[in-house]
Structure 1
């Protein structure tokens, strides 16, 4: 592939196009300043204003959320995996029907693989604009977002109505539900009983990996962070790995499906060859989609701290995470 071909598969951090009306809580005080980014795949945005940077199917979606201090994302759930790593700032992740079953604070570089089937939210608790990068399982990301009932009710009080078609309608702009489209029903008490409330002791050791633990392990070889043999043992339909200065090599390799490179720290030189040789420099916050069967390698381009997340789909179905699957078997 030529550098021109590959440039269409690189999304620079500074070129990310935000959507401020992506979800039902876009008008709700405390959540009305967040920005949603859809980088690869359709994502789960409920707004027609959402820009998608790369539409090529990868078996998963890549997105991001940017929020000023004390801005939060309301309680919701997904049917497939939702993985975040903190690019900038300090973030509090909380979960449960009312968001009080447990919480954990993540620093820059930390990663969380939030169990499916529970309500979760997150808040920027830092002192500046923060950014978290996200991986959602499946090309259709499980068909959308499941909101806690109070989120839908609060949104309606502030002019936003979610249709059963999964699309938002802003009554402040004179919009209304189209004929034949009913409002998205809120979950019943019986349905809500199917949403468990795990304790921090169940979630944190099994679904959170700390940056410096990953970096220490990556000194010997690339570390599998999420995967069948990963630090976080799970099979959500994709794997996440981490490289650093010591585990990056110049050996060319390829995959039989598209993969994604996401620098966390440092600048990385990605080199590829397919008839002709090309290269690009990636910085923290950049996202690069590497085509299937393209021989390539990634190496830090300078001294100092360097780390890079690598994401690739697996043959596992995009569905419940290990914790939820184990609960279902009991």
Structure 2
């Protein structure tokens, strides 16, 4: 692996290319300032304007959402896993068809493995531009997004219509549904009744982990298994997530039989690999090729942590409740 080849597998935070028309709520007041990013994989965007940084299949997708204060992402559902960790800012996550079944406030480094089959949304409640990083199960990210009925109605009132082909049409640009394409149907009452309605205790206790708690565990000298069959969050969403800290990092090279991803949270990290070396900063995303010997260690003093993601053979939508 040459340094040039490896650079093509690194997406720097400052080079991220946003899409402001990715989803149906792009014109809806309160959600119209969102920026969506597809870093690895095809993502779930409904817009052809979405830029894909790395299209190599990994068994999962990596994306991000950037939002100014008080901007929110509308209530939606996924058929596969959706995991977020907070890179910058302070965020409120809420769930239920109307967002009134529960909520949790999350700080930088916190991680949320959102269960499948629930409506969820999120809002930047900080005082500055915030960024959350996302891991989506499967190479096709589950075939798209399922919107709460009121989101589709609100979007239509502001000029955006979602076709049953999963594509957006903007009447403000003179677009209309093509022949043979119908509006995306609203979920029926029977379909809505089948959507899960977990309590705050179920969600927060089972699917949220705090960064400070995980960082403390990492001082033991071993990487923290955050999501996995034997993780702090005992789930099998089609990938595993570890938190590696300064104390648990090792300069001993290792490899995986499938691509893996390194996503620094704090500090600068030196990644040595067969063919060269590179330094990553918070917000950067690095795709490590399968079977490439590599190691990652902090390159400067101070707090250092990164999230490590690798696919498993589990179904991308499986939720295992132990």
Q: After the TM superposition, which residues 70-149 of structure 1 pair with which residues of structure 2 at under 5 Å, given as runs? A: 70-149=70-149
Q: Indicate the residue corresponding to 2:223 in structure 1.
A: 222
Is 1:63 the counterpart of 2:63? The answer is yes
Judge conservation of contact 2:102–2:200 (CA < 8 Å) in 1: yes
Judge conservation of contact 1:215–1:244 (CA < 8 Å) in 2: yes
* C-alpha distance in 2 between matches for 1:3 and 1:84: 30
Give the SS at the match of 2:252. Answer: coil
User: Moved runs in structure 1, 4+ residues, more than 4 A?
Assistant: none
Q: Indicate the residue corresponding to 2:302 in structure 1.
A: 304
Give the SS at the match of 1:128. Answer: coil
Q: Indicate the residue corresponding to 2:316 in structure 1.
A: 318
Judge conservation of contact 1:117–1:320 (CA < 8 Å) in 2: no
TM-score scaled to structure 2, two decimals?
Answer: 0.99
Judge conservation of contact 1:79–1:320 (CA < 8 Å) in 2: no
Deviation (angstroms), 1:174: 0.1
Q: Indicate the residue corresponding to 2:291 in structure 1.
A: 293
Judge conservation of contact 2:40–2:62 (CA < 8 Å) in 1: yes
* C-alpha distance in 2 between matches for 1:107 and 1:224: 20
Q: Indicate the residue corresponding to 2:206 in structure 1.
A: 206
Q: Indicate the residue corresponding to 1:189 in structure 2.
A: 189
TM-align CA RMSD: 0.7
Q: Indicate the residue corresponding to 2:261 in structure 1.
A: 260
User: Structure 2 unaligned runs (5+)?
Assistant: none
* C-alpha distance in 1 between matches for 2:36 and 2:209: 24
Judge conservation of contact 1:214–1:223 (CA < 8 Å) in 2: yes
Judge conservation of contact 2:240–2:311 (CA < 8 Å) in 1: yes
Q: Indicate the residue corresponding to 1:235 in structure 2.
A: 236
Deviation (angstroms), 1:322: 2.6
* C-alpha distance in 1 between matches for 2:249 and 2:196: 40
1:197-245 C-alpha deviation (Å, 9 max, x unpaired)? 1111101011001001111111120011000010000000000001111
* C-alpha distance in 1 between matches for 2:126 and 2:68: 8
Q: Indicate the residue corresponding to 1:284 in structure 2.
A: 282
Give the SS at the match of 1:37. Answer: strand
Judge conservation of contact 2:238–2:318 (CA < 8 Å) in 1: no
Deviation (angstroms), 1:321: 2.1
Q: Indicate the residue corresponding to 2:23 in structure 1.
A: 23
TM-score scaled to structure 1, two decimals?
Answer: 0.96
Segment of structure 1 superposing worse, 69-78 or 196-205: 196-205
Q: Indicate the residue corresponding to 2:159 in structure 1.
A: 159
Judge conservation of contact 1:83–1:136 (CA < 8 Å) in 2: yes
Is 1:53 the counterpart of 2:36? The answer is no
Number of equivalent positions: 321
Give the SS at the match of 1:251. Answer: strand
